Structure formats: structure tokens, C-alpha cells
Amino acid sequence: MTGIQIQELTKRFGDNVALQNVSLTFQPGKIYGLLGRNGAGKSTLLGIAANRLFADSGQVLIDGEPACENDRAQKKLYMMSEKNLYPKDMRVRDVFRWSERFYGSFDRQQAQVLAQQFGLNTKKRVKELSTGYTSIFKLIVALCLDVPYLFLDEPVLGLDANHREMFYHLLLKNYADEPRTIIIATHLIEEVANLIEEIAIIDEGRLLMSQSVQSLLDSGYCVSGKAGDVDAYAAGKKVIGEDVLGGLKTAYILGGCDRQALCDSGLELSKLNLQKLFVELTKKEGEQ
């Protein structure tokens, strides 16, 4: 397997440019965070890869084969999204049976076990499920499919805190038992920070960056202290954001750290966290 290659992908909806010349690669056997604000283009990118949308230009390759209208390539992936693809009048248990027949690789016994753990009533019809249990139902289908590429688009929509923790635990166990490429598209950065190995950030249809989480976090740092001292230290450096409280300031800086200058100025040094880095990189003019 060679992974999924996104090649110069562009997609418009009327006057809105959802994706603009996006290129990146999802390597086999890794958990990715596809991060972006609402409307950034995450769902559009995954939808094109899953053959649910057509690109205006560019292409997606799955293990070297075009993804568009290619059954052999599409059988290698499954996309869980907010959109409901199942008949609303069908009972959950019947969807499990149908999935077993349709996909072949679906583990119906495991699906029943997970449904019991989550408290999902499989006798209910799809249309009778709450928003949270609709997400749980879709997640169970996704986790019980043996495919090398799994797309999870805003997977915890409507889930309470306990169910979210259960899902993240099961996802990691699923990955440990059988490693595969998992792409989690979300704007809930803090919750997935400890799950993902690689990160791709999309903002207003453009790819801002694609690299390992560790290398991204190692590429910058925070300095805190008196505002004047912080300003003096940060002068000439790549400052991506600042927080001010009274006479104190924290600056978020990309690039190397001058430890001697920090020591001399008495400033406090700390590591960037993924949530704050994402917020600063995607902040719009005028936002605080």
C-alpha cells in the first residue's frame, strides 16, 4: 500500500472556493488529524476521496489508483460523516446485517458487543435515534469494518463526555489490534491531540501545513512575563499570537529559542500545545 495522495485538488460550490489546489499524502498505518475550523474544507476533501463529491480539478489516488468512480479503490475505504446514508426506517440491527452482506469484512458480532457497551438499542429504527446515538451507530459501523482507510468526519457529534471517552479508547484499541490509516476530521483539537500522530491543517480551502504532531510542537514555544520584556525578546522573531493580561504578556513564537536571552530577561519558557497553536494559526483579523 502506498497511501492516499491528494493531488492539486480544487472544488468550488458556486462562488465559494471550498478547496484550492490542495496537495498532501496520507501514509499507510497512521492516525491523522485533519484539522480546520467549520467550513474550512475538511469534509469536502474527504468527500471527494470517498467518491461522494467530484473535484473541479486535481485527483485523489488510493494506493496509486484513481479514487473517482473506481470500485476497487473505494472498497479500501469507509467514510463516517454527519450525512446519513442508511434508510431511516431500517432498524439498527438490520443495518448491521446489511453491512455484513454488503461489505463482507463487517464484524457483526463485534458490532453487537459495542452496541451493548454504548447502550445502543439495536431494535430502534435509524430515524428514532437521538443525535448522539446516531453518531454512536455510525461509529460502530465504521469501527467494525475491516478496511485499510477509515475517514471519521466530526465523529463525536452529539456524544456526551462519557461516550466520547469510550469512543477514543475503542478507537485506539481498534488501531492497536489492527493498524490502518485513520483520518479524523475535527475542530475539537484538544480532544484528539493525544490520539493523532500526523496533522494536516486546512484553512479557507488551503493547506496550511502537513507534518507530524511532534515536529510541529517542537517548531515553536511560548514566552511569558512582563509585557515590555516579552516584546523586547520577541522583536524580529516569528510571533504567531499573543495573550495580554494587565501588564503581563504571553507570546507564541515559531522558530528556535534563544535560551540565554530568556535567562537574562527572566522570562518563563513553556511548550506550545496543539489547541493554542491551531487557534493562532487560523485566527482571523479582528478576532481576540
> Which tens digit of pLDDT belongs to each residue from 12-65?
999 999 999 999 999 999 999 999 998 899 999 999 999 999 999 999 999 999
Taking a C-beta distance cutoff of 8 angstroms, is the pair 34, 184 a contact?
A: yes
Grid coordinates representing 282 are 487560523
Whether the predicted pLDDT of 223 surpasses 90:
yes
User: How does DSSP classify residue 53?
Assistant: S
pLDDT for the residue numbered 141? 95
The secondary element (H helix, E strand) that includes residue 96 is helix 92-103
Whether the predicted pLDDT of 188 surpasses 90:
no
The model carries a pTM of 0.91
CB-side neighbour CA atoms (13 Å) of 148: 15
Taking a C-beta distance cutoff of 8 angstroms, is the pair 144, 117 a contact?
A: no
Mapping DSSP to helix (H, G, I), strand (E, B) and coil, where does residue 104 land? coil
Domains in the chain, CATH or no CATH each: 4-215 (3.40.50.300), 219-282 (3.30.70)
Grid coordinates representing 141 are 459501523
pLDDT for the residue numbered 287? 65
Express as a percent the part of the chain with pLDDT over 90: 80
